[in-house]
Structure 1
Amino acid sequence: MTPTPAPQIPVTVRVFTQRFSSTPRGARLARHLALHRLDVWGIPYGCDSSDTAALLVAELAANAVTHGRVAGRDFELRLSLDARTLRIDVSDARGECRPVGPGALTAPAGGAEGGRGLLLVEALADRWAVLDRLPVGKTVRAELDLPSEDNGTISTALFRFKGPFGAH
């Protein structure tokens, strides 16, 4: 008797990459386009995964614009989605301005106006890291494990949706 093989999750990965101006307007546009792309991929506006991704993209883009800005250089947003995980990468050109990594964050003083953004990222993301970017700069990556109810929607939408250029 041959054992029944475990069901396999399809390996399709969706990727969206876009550069934005290192301005507050660029950061807002990054958040809007990220939510639109997630909706196209089957993560509808207003669901928990979409709302969490919106907060993560907004915070990482704002940090890239505020702390990672180099005159004349854009920042980059990259989203990748497979059947289980959404990865959000925000890259900027300033490598010497590196935030501390996961687990090393400390809360700012009570009256401080800033310093809470990466605490929010740490609280919302399942994993996050700061990576070197070649040839110059850094990437801050946040990953979300998709809940099973979103997962079903995503995995079926990934294989049914066909646009003018094939599968998206």
Structure 2
Amino acid sequence: MQNRQTQLRAARGFTMAVTLIMLLVVTLLVMGSMRGVVVGERAAGDYRERSQTIQRAEQALRQGELALRQPSCATAWNCLTNAQGLNESSGPASNPITAWSVASGTTAVAVANAGRYVVQPLGTFTASGRILPLTSCYRWAVTAKAYSSLNASAGTLDANEGAVVQSQVIVCPVS
């Protein structure tokens, strides 16, 4: 009889140990899945923030392009807040990130609720065709950048902080 009671106690102890181990495993699984959900939400938030930053930079870029394409321009220089000579062609055209702060003769123009843009001359060329007479045209580089709302500092730009976009605009003054 005593042997039977010992066996029952041992069986209950073993069952209790297995139950506790199972509870521990389930608890760890639940905690791990919750951590995965938090990490997933964070990654989705970063992607959304990055997309919005790129959109703000592109919005600033479009404003810079529009500034060069105003119909009231006799020359492209009349449309800029900071005119400069054509020999000042270094800067964002070669490397938009490192050249932003050292581009000679440029002023970053702020765009409301977006980023900033810089316009730089790349040179002149002569356009000829059936519609246009021989005209001296200007090629401009428009570079825009926007910082993410998570890092609104004006320091060095890296891939995690913001976005840089660039385009070229050709302006042929109408005589």
- TM-score norm. by structure 1 comes to 0.28
More helix by share: 2
Compare CA radii of gyration and give the structure with the larger one: 2
- TM-score norm. by structure 2 comes to 0.28
